[in-house]
């Protein structure tokens, strides 16, 4: 948390699954001077296609799309997006160590954190993540808080981008003049904006949050570690 030397407020984003909609999201964040951590599944390629609320979702071919993520952080999300708590030790190793190794190979930087697929984890999973040098792990249970958290391998986001309280949280964050470090952490999947037709609403939120000289805009790694 080097940023706390100069700032009391930080904003960071965490987006999962590496779908084609990440191209639009990354461009939007770049325009706003914001940083995101993208949690990617290196074992699933562009042949993996599904639908979300009638909209097609296709994973990016990661080795061909490195420039999409330039300036942002890449983190582990499991090689094949498996629910981790049900895996035996060997499969858990493959899922996490395999993803970390492949992402390191593709992007040239070793990931230092992860997001749990489906938010699914247990003590064996967090211990495995720790043993692999992963220092934070994000779940899906929002806490509507900006307070720094002690257990980074059980990290709880402030909110999802579709949270009914998002606008109120933005207002509270912007108005605050905290004495101690505060972190606004927003998570989601970029394909949800297609399915819910709310790219515009999110863009308005980003415009409110952009360009404040008392806010540090960083990746998860920069903000949490």
* Binding footprint of Zn ion on the chain (CB under 5 A): 16-17, 117
Nearest to Zn ion of 12, 39 (CB atom): 39
Nearest to Zn ion of 17, 73 (CB atom): 17
Shortest distance in whole angstroms from residue 50 CB to Zn ion: 11
Shortest distance in whole angstroms from residue 60 CB to Zn ion: 14
Beta bridge partners of 155: 138
Shortest distance in whole angstroms from residue 118 CB to Zn ion: 7
Phi, psi of 111 (to 5 degrees): -60, 145
| One-character DSSP codes across 122-161 | -HHHHHHHHHTT--EEE-S------S--S-GGGB--SEET
Phi, psi of 10 (to 5 degrees): -135, 145
| CB closest to Zn ion, residue no | 16
Cα 135 to its chain centre, rounded Å, is: 14
Nearest to Zn ion of 120, 222 (CB atom): 120
Nearest to Zn ion of 16, 99 (CB atom): 16
Q: Other C-beta atoms within 10 Å of 209: how many?
A: 18
């Amino acid at each position: 948390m080097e940023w706390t030397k100069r700032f009391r407020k930080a904003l960071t984003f965490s987006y999962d699954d590496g779908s084609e909609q990440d191209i639009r999201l990354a461009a939007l964040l770049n325009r706003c001077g914001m940083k995101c951590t993208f949690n990617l599944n290196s074992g699933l390629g562009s042949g993996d296609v599904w639908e979300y609320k009638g909209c097609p979702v296709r994973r990016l071919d990661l080795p061909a799309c490195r420039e999409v993520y330039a300036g942002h952080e890449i983190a582990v999300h499991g090689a094949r997006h498996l629910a981790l708590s049900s895996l035996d030790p060997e499969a858990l190793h493959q899922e996490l160590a395999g993803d970390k190794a492949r992402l390191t190979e593709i992007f040239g930087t070793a990931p230092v954190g992860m997001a749990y697929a489906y938010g699914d984890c247990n003590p064996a999973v967090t211990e495995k993540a720790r043993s692999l040098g992963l220092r934070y792990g994000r779940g899906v249970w929002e806490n509507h808080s900006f307070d720094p958290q002690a257990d980074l391998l059980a990290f709880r986001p402030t909110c999802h981008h579709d949270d009914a309280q998002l606008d109120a949280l933005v207002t509270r964050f912007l108005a605050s003049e905290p004495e101690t470090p505060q972190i606004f952490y927003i998570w989601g999947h970029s394909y949800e904006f297609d399915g819910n037709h709310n790219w515009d609403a999110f863009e308005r939120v980003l415009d409110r949050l952009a360009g404040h000289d008392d806010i540090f805009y960083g990746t998860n790694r920069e903000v949490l570690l």
